[in-house]
Structure 1
Amino acid sequence: MLDAGAIQAFANVVLHDKALMTPHTGELEILLNSKIKSIDQGISLAKEYTQNYNVNILWKRHSSFLIDVKGIVYLWEKPEPKLAVMGTGDLLAGILAFYFSRGFEVCNSVHLAFSLLTRAAQKSKGFPTASEIRKLLIQGGS
């Protein structure tokens, strides 16, 4: 699981088909060395990258995309506005690491992590901080 600075540290390195990079759009543009002008272009460039470097990419945006090493694209199209706060990417990385450490496949890990974060955010009042979302996760979202 490679996030933030680790994405650049492993840029253009052939990795493992269970490896996952989790860039937001700015980080993805740096990784791909290209300004992303459209979703289609971003997905096309990311597909090429995943196949060349044997790594999955989770492009984090309001509707996130998982592009796997086979070029299959998964879309999480129901964005939760309450997750658009600083620190939720760190929560996502931690949850993904939890599932990966237990042998879950990349796609299942991403699906479960988004589901947990979304459920916790939806149960919060107003717009929570990442710390408040973390507390809801610990409490089971109740």
Structure 2
Amino acid sequence: MWVRDVMRRDVAVVGPETPLREAAERMWNSCRLLLVVGDAHGIYGLVTTRELVLGAEAQAQGYLAGAVGDVARLDFVFTHEDETLENLARRMVHAGARRAIVIDEELRAVGVVSPLQMASPDVVGRASEESFPASDAPSWTGTMAG
């Protein structure tokens, strides 16, 4: 399977200077739980609801965390739509990344892949079917072939 088969295409990009409150409003209004942080010069990170809450708490305690660039996550990898999920999964594990940002030829964010998309029933079922023939069940299933 390919990244294009599972990626979320409705990605929202906000600039690193976007205030936390504005980012939270954008998340709420768009029903997205993740924003890509970037601008015309590049992609800098990801912001989830968790980072917004932690940033607001830091702000309340007097720390300088007023914009999404201050709280953006850096645990991601870049990918393209034509990468296999197997290869992407291997790279994500190796990098300790929780998400992959799908970019196009102009290096713009066009999608996101998370473990949730990679573990959908369709993907897992299809991967299982492709991994071994139906007549040769793996030992962990507890069934005997033939």
Structure of greater Rg: 2
Of the two structures, which has the highest relative contact order with CA contacts closer than 8 Å and spacing of 6 or more?
2
Please report the TM-score for the alignment, with normalisation by the length of structure 1.
0.30
Larger relative strand fraction: 2
TM-score (norm 2): 0.30
Q: Which has the higher helix share?
A: 1
